[in-house]
């Protein structure tokens, strides 16, 4: 077994599929030859990944609506998440790429690592079928799946608040800094979330973004827009 095969716990029957999965398109660009790269496997692997994650969520969250399942899936197959999976396997160090791509940081680039992970999924699928690909995907995503299954709430209070309010009215929440305190290196910001004349919530944090998130979280808990609707 190659070091990567040992790391992923899977040995290829057809080693050329692994070579193809690890070949970045920049190799062909620099050699100006008809060189196989991992783009086609990436295309296939993306579909397999979506299927496996969709099936897992569908079976586990048997009462969730389609829109909710779509949001949960997007967290598990996002570019940042795939980069995390690829980095855990040290996939970047195994990639074959052109010198220019490598010099520009290609081995650490999110898109490159995400594509390589999808290509590896596609290669495993072609090498021995869906069950092997499923086993590999679920092993890499195990920690994230367990977290989502234990706590499926979206970690995006501002986005959730905006979506909820826009289902009632075209207006969005407006965040206003009402105070700043403390020294420059340790400031505390206090922010209020306003919507159509109502103070929905208030939050504080070491920067404006975290204070806004805290205000949105309180707004979701208090649900003051409901009083306006009555």
Which residues are catalytically annotated? 46, 118
How far, CA to CA in Å, does 145 sit from each of 52, 77, 148, 172? 12, 11, 5, 32
DSSP 122: H
The distance in angstroms from the start CA to the end CA of the chain is 67
| Closest C-alpha to 207, from 215, 199, 219, 198 | 215
Collapse the DSSP code of 23 into the 3-class scheme (helix H, G, I; strand E, B; otherwise coil) and give the result. strand
DSSP tally for the chain: helices H, then strands E = 13, 3
Three-state SS for 186-211 is: HCEEEEEEEECCEEEEEEEECCHHHH
Q: Which two tokens stand for residue 202?
A: 């208030």
């Amino acid at each position: 077994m190659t070091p990567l095969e040992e790391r992923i716990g899977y040995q290829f029957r057809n080693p050329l599929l692994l070579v193809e999965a690890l070949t970045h398109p920049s190799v062909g660009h620099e050699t100006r030859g008809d060189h196989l790269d991992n783009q086609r496997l990436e295309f296939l692997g993306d579909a397999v990944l979506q299927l496996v994650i969709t099936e897992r969520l569908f079976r586990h969250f048997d009462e969730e609506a389609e829109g909710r399942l779509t949001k949960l899936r997007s967290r598990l197959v996002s570019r940042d998440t795939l980069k995390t999976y690829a980095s855990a396997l040290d996939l970047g160090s195994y990639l074959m790429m052109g010198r220019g791509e490598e010099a520009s940081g290609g081995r650490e680039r999110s898109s490159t690592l995400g594509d390589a992970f999808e290509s590896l999924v596609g290669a495993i699928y072609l090498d021995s079928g869906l069950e092997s690909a499923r086993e590999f995907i679920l092993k890499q995503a195990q920690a994230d799946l367990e977290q989502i299954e234990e706590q499926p709430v979206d970690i995006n209070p501002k986005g959730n608040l905006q979506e909820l309010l826009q289902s009632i009215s075209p207006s969005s929440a407006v965040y206003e800094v009402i105070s700043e305190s403390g020294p420059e290196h340790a400031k505390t910001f206090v922010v209020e979330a306003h919507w159509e004349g109502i103070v929905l919530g208030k939050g504080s944090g070491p920067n404006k973004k975290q204070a806004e998130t805290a205000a949105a979280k309180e707004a979701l808990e208090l649900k003051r827009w409901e009083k306006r609707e009555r």
